[in-house]
């Protein structure tokens, strides 16, 4: 004995409508969250900001390490954290390309490093910044800068002292500077300037020309974005 199951057309229509609505809502949710098939969709166009000059406060003095011609027409002020992975990416990519660029070789643009340690999430950032400053006192800031970023996974005090030896510093002077926190005030002042300049994360770059015009590149952006920012100030 067989039984026949009848489904009215009205019922089929209701089921179809429900399924279509459910699929539509799922599609909207996935698009809104930028997540399709488990893959995060990231924006492809980095951000170059052009804030008003009056909103940027950057002070550069003879305690700030400068890479390049001190009299360059344009200065890139980098606010950075030695333990920040995005700062390492910037050092390995955009900053490295800057060193080989015609802007640097011709003396048109220089780079100033400013400490912006995010101490609440990077416990080794403060002491690493102090180590770089202790190295600057012996004329080897950029050598310490490079070796710290090259060994970002080992930033304890013992490692920092080892790097000082590797780059040829007077280790007695360096160790005394580091142990006595002699560079802490400089790092604290840089941190204050970072927030005054609008920095909310690292790395953060403020570009300034001789007329005082400014533009900002925020994050570990490709060198092409820095070139665009430089051209906007020429």
Q: What is the dihedral of CA 60, 61, 65, 69, to 10 degrees?
A: 80
Most confident of the following: 74-78, 199-203, 208-212? 74-78
Q: What is the pLDDT of residue 47?
A: 44
DSSP code of residue 89: H
Average pLDDT over residues 169-187: 98
Instruction: Write the pLDDT tens digit of every residue in 136-146.
Output: 999 999 999 99
- Calculate what percentage of the chain has a pLDDT beyond 70: 76
Q: What is the pLDDT of residue 59?
A: 86
CB 177 within 8 A of CB 10: no
Assess whether pLDDT exceeds 80 at residue 184: yes
**Residue 119: closest CA among 218, 197, 188:** 188
User: 22-31, 97-106, 219-228: which range is least confident on average?
Assistant: 22-31
Assess whether pLDDT exceeds 70 at residue 37: no
Instruction: Write the pLDDT tens digit of every residue in 128-168.
Output: 999 999 999 999 999 999 999 999 999 999 999 999 999 99
Assess whether pLDDT exceeds 80 at residue 34: no
User: What is the chain's mean pLDDT, rounded?
Assistant: 83
Q: What is the pLDDT of residue 6?
A: 44
Give the model's confidence band at 224: pLDDT under 50 very low, under 70 low, under 90 confident, else very high.
very high
148-176 burial: b if 16+ Cβ within 10 Å, else e: bbeebeebeeebbbebbeeeebeeeebbe
Instruction: Write the pLDDT tens digit of every residue in 38-95.
Output: 222 223 334 444 444 445 878 899 999 999 999 999 999 999 999 999 999 999 999 9
Q: What is the pLDDT of residue 15?
A: 46
More confident of the two residues 226 and 13 = 226
Assess whether pLDDT exceeds 70 at residue 26: no
């Amino acid at each position: 004995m067989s039984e026949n199951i009848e489904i009215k057309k009205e019922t089929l229509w209701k089921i179809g409508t429900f399924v279509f609505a459910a699929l539509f809502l799922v599609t909207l949710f996935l698009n809104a969250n930028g997540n399709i098939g488990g893959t995060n969709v990231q924006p492809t166009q980095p951000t170059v900001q052009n804030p008003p000059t009056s909103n940027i406060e950057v002070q550069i003095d003879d305690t700030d390490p400068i890479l390049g011609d001190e009299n360059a027409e344009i200065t890139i002020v980098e606010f950075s954290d030695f333990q920040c992975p995005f700062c390492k990416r910037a050092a390995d990519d955009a900053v490295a390309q800057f060193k080989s660029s015609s802007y640097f070789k011709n003396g048109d643009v220089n780079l100033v490093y400013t400490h912006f340690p995010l101490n609440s999430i990077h416990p080794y950032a403060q002491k690493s910044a102090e180590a770089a400053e202790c190295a600057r006192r012996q004329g080897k800031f950029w050598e310490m800068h490079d070796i710290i970023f090259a060994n970002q996974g080992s930033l304890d005090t013992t490692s920092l002292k080892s790097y000082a030896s590797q780059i040829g510093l007077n280790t007695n002077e360096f160790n005394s500077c580091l142990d006595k926190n002699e560079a802490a005030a400089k790092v604290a002042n840089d941190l204050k300037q970072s927030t005054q300049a609008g920095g909310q994360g690292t790395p953060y770059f403020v570009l300034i020309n001789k007329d005082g015009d400014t533009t900002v590149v925020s994050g570990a952006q490709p060198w092409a974005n820095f070139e665009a920012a430089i051209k906007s100030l020429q």
